[in-house]
Chains A and B, each alone.
Chain A
Amino acid sequence: MSWAGLFGAPAFAEIAKRQQKHCILLWLCGGPSQFETWDPKPGTSTGGPFKSIPTKIPGTHFSELMPKCASIADKLAIVRSMKTTAKEHTEGINLLQRGHQPRPPFTRPTLGSVLSQQLGQLDSKIPNFILLDPCPEGNEFKGFKAGNWAGWLGAQYSPVRVGGEFQIPNADRLDSITEDDHEAREALRRFFSKKYENERKSSAASSWNATFERVNGLMSCSHLFDLERIPQADRDRYGPGAFGQHALLARTLVEEGAPFVMVANGMPWDTHVFNHEIYQMVVPDLDNIIFQLTKDLEDRGLLEDTLVVAMGEFGRTPWINQARGRDHYPNAWSLAMAGGGIKGGAIVGATDRYGAEVIEDPFNEENLFATIFTALGIDPHREFHIPGMPTFHHVENQAKPISQILS
């Protein structure tokens, strides 16, 4: 078979195509309010103090806190009818990160882990799953971060966590060791490690080796995580806040070939207190970040192959509590997507006058994951082939993708 023939074969073509895809997840942990973002209800008792503004899509309005996204609404897809069940953070984060209810004792891999397996290459120098999270804390999210991201896929599909206090230290080769010496040592380590792994049939050794490979890779690409190397003009455009700066870093990492980058910043969207007082700041910040990211990816010819998802684990209550806040609300909430595989300008689903109930096209986490996989060229219903495990699928229950937003 010729080289052309080799890559013309469907399986190889599919793999090659997938490996050009990227995904950036803007993880709005805490649960962003749909009212102050994508599904405003001005003039109602639940609408809050922010008005709505028209967007580039006739008849569609966003919160007045999102003028930049309103100007590129034709590039975004908005789902206003997410209806899920998890009411608390740990439950919600797991549901929206893994795409399915828990089934102990099995731990389903997170979206990032699955995509790093599907889109990435094991011998890649740049990590296949990068978590940029400058806030080291985050209550329930902190607990989640310390847990098992990769599930049954194994530790090699866990994220490399960078950002804020999490820098990559000691990544430079010591001056006292030559390049040749370094490679020789690494070859010896790899030989003995593989020998041990094969002879003992040790999954722990396998994960350890995978981790070592990643560290080795990081040594060669640690400079890519340095915000200071990015032109100041770019840094200024993304705004001074930590979330914006790390969203910009995500863009540069995707440019360098990273298949999946998740950007978080702790849990700032959990506004049980001072909802409007906090959202007057965090939403304009998000508005600018989505705008800059979308435009930059487009300008660099990367938007067609890069899926951008902005979502949290649920929405927030229509009613205001005693502390000027909105509480957790999975019954009716919104999210946004842009880029690869997504139809720009698609506004899907609807809620009632108060934003209390979904009245059109309800979708859950399975529909969402099926959409993401489909947009990235991955069969959402493909089985995981793992010895000794029950049959699991990327998305269970043959859940359908949200076809209205797929291009």
Chain B
Amino acid sequence: MNSPSLKKGKEIILPSHVLDLTLGPDDYLYAACLDGGIYETSLHGETKENAYQELARHENYASGVNWSASQNTLVSASYDGDLKWIDLKEKKAIRSIQAHRFWSWQSRISPDGTCIASTTGQYLCGGYKYEPAPETEPSVKVFEIASGKLLYSLSHTPPVQSVAFSHDGKLLAAGNLMGEVILWDLSQGGKEIARINTPDFTGWGIIKGHYYTGGVYALHFSPDDQSLYLAGMGTTRDPAAGNGKQLWQKYTWQEGVKKDSAASDGEIGEGLMETLAFHPGGEFFVMAGRLFKGQWNAALFDHQSGSKVHEQNVGFRISSSVFTPDGKSLILAGGVNQDNPAEEKKWGRIIIYDVLG
């Protein structure tokens, strides 16, 4: 195929920053926002203010929203630690469970739609150099969508900020602040099968304060489930600058953990990358986040070569990305600056790009 590129299309405005986005039935979009709201909007139709409807509300930042086609259910997650099951016909939450005592940092649904994984963990001082303290509750939990039943409680070092299922649903990976990614085999009862340790995504404040920042913010299995992509921000001496590299790395684990490839220095700028998504064709993926320095904050990379094939400066921070099943559209979601609250500005954004080539 020709090198893919992106052409900007419709833009949707939401009340506050979008932390997560999913594509539901009939091209409806569902957004989890910083104001706690879970909103429904559409891929199609005219762009206009208030082109959304609130479905449910959490008591804290809504951090995740996941559509299960097989269960015909939407499940949201929040910094309030809760998961909510939302009935799309009734447009309201029908079940809520407390998954964690601290935030749900990220949640992902299994490919068959039968279960949902959610990660948590508070970064607390555990050492002289502010190493994270051990967990006080399981950092990763997997729940059955149909019943809400807890299926797995998995241990990690908090905070655990990212999670991903393999495409066959057998493997689960979760990454934390310290660049530690654990892979579990759910088909073997949640047995740990590999542990990736990389210092490349974690900053320790040499210049300013002494503490750790960053970590693995996004995880995605390759289409063949033979490798795992990690994304975030490269190390930085100044944790208050946010000037680490826009970084992804690809690992294999079958014959010992090995870094297979990584974003090339000449193709990346600086800023936290928060999201990864694969094109349905499996040939390329998008990584997106914040632009601190450079030319882009969303870029397409070739899966085989790792080369950047297209870059886009979206103009605001991106937290979530989704390709449509036909591969013709890429949906990016995030937000512009919040600014003075007295102005009551709506600062959440969804942009839909046509995927060309």
Contact = CB atoms under 8 A, between A and B. Distances in A.
A320 B337 CA distance: 7
B207 A241 contact: no
B130 A322 contact: no
B61 interface: yes
Contact of A281 (B103, B124, B208, B317): B124
A46 B240 contact: no
B125 interface: yes
A45 B341 contact: yes
Interface string A220-248: 00000000000000000001111011000
A277 interface: yes
Nearest to A273: B242
Given A45-B35, A46-B341, A137-B208, 16 more contacts: A44-B341, A45-B338, A137-B207, A270-B240, A274-B213, A274-B239, A280-B122, A281-B130, A285-B125, A318-B340, A321-B337, A322-B290, A323-B272, A323-B317, A324-B272, A325-B240
A318 B340 CA distance: 8
A321 B340 CA distance: 11
Given A240-B125, A241-B127, A356-B342, A272 B211 contact: no
Interface in B85-133: 103, 122-130, 132
B197 to A, nearest CB: 20
24 contacts: A45-B344, A49-B103, A138-B207, A241-B127, A241-B128, A244-B125, A265-B209, A265-B210, A266-B205, A266-B210, A267-B208, A268-B209, A269-B209, A273-B241, A274-B213, A278-B123, A280-B124, A281-B132, A319-B340, A320-B17, A323-B272, A323-B317, A324-B272, A354-B342
A240 B125 CA distance: 7
A270 B337 contact: no
A319 B206 contact: no
A284 interface: yes
Nearest to B161: A277
A207 B209 CA distance: 32
Interface of chain B, main secondary structure: loop
A139 B208 contact: yes
Interface in A320-343: 320-325
A238 B271 CA distance: 35
B215 to A, nearest CB: 9
B296 interface: no
Contacts of A51: 60
B301 interface: no
A137 B211 CA distance: 13
Nearest to A355: B341
Contacts of A242: 128-130, 210
B242 A277 contact: no
Interface in B329-357: 336-342, 344
A282 interface: yes
Interface of B: 16-17, 34-35, 60-61, 79, 103, 122-130, 132, 159, 205-211, 213-214, 238-242, 271-272, 290, 292, 316-317, 336-342, 344
A354 B341 contact: yes
Contacts of B122: 280-281
A138 B208 contact: yes
A97 B340 CA distance: 29
Contacts of B205: 266, 268
B26 to A, nearest CB: 31
A284 B124 contact: yes
Interface residues of A, number: 44
A356 B123 CA distance: 28
Contacts of A284: 124-125
A273 B274 CA distance: 14
Contacts of B272: 273, 323-324
A337 to B, nearest CB: 23
B175 to A, nearest CB: 14
A278 B239 contact: yes
A315 interface: no
A94 interface: no
Interface of chain A, main secondary structure: loop
Contacts of A138: 207-208
A219 interface: no
Interface in A263-296: 265-274, 277-278, 280-282, 284-285
B240 A272 contact: yes
A272 B210 CA distance: 15
A135 interface: yes
Given A30-B208, A268-B208, A325-B242, A49 B61 contact: yes
A351 to B, nearest CB: 12
A49 B79 contact: yes
B108 to A, nearest CB: 20
B60 A49 contact: yes
Contact of B338 (A30, A49, A271, A319): A319
Contact of B125 (A137, A241, A267): A241
B174 to A, nearest CB: 17
B126 A323 contact: no
B16 A137 contact: no
Contact of A45 (B16, B60, B103, B132): B16
A137 B207 CA distance: 5
Contacts of A322: 290, 316-317, 336-337
A139 B237 CA distance: 11
Contacts of A266: 205, 208-210
A239 B208 contact: no
Contacts of A267: 208-209, 240
Nearest to B317: A322
Contacts of B239: 273-274, 278
Nearest to B132: A281
B339 A319 contact: yes
A154 to B, nearest CB: 31
Given A239-B125, A240-B128, A277-B213, A323 B242 contact: yes
A281 B337 contact: no
Given A266-B205, A284-B124, A285-B125, A321 B338 contact: yes
A-B pairs with the 7 shortest C-beta distances?
A268-B209, A273-B242, A319-B338, A267-B208, A241-B125, A322-B317, A354-B341
Nearest to A137: B207
A342 B318 CA distance: 47
Nearest to B61: A49
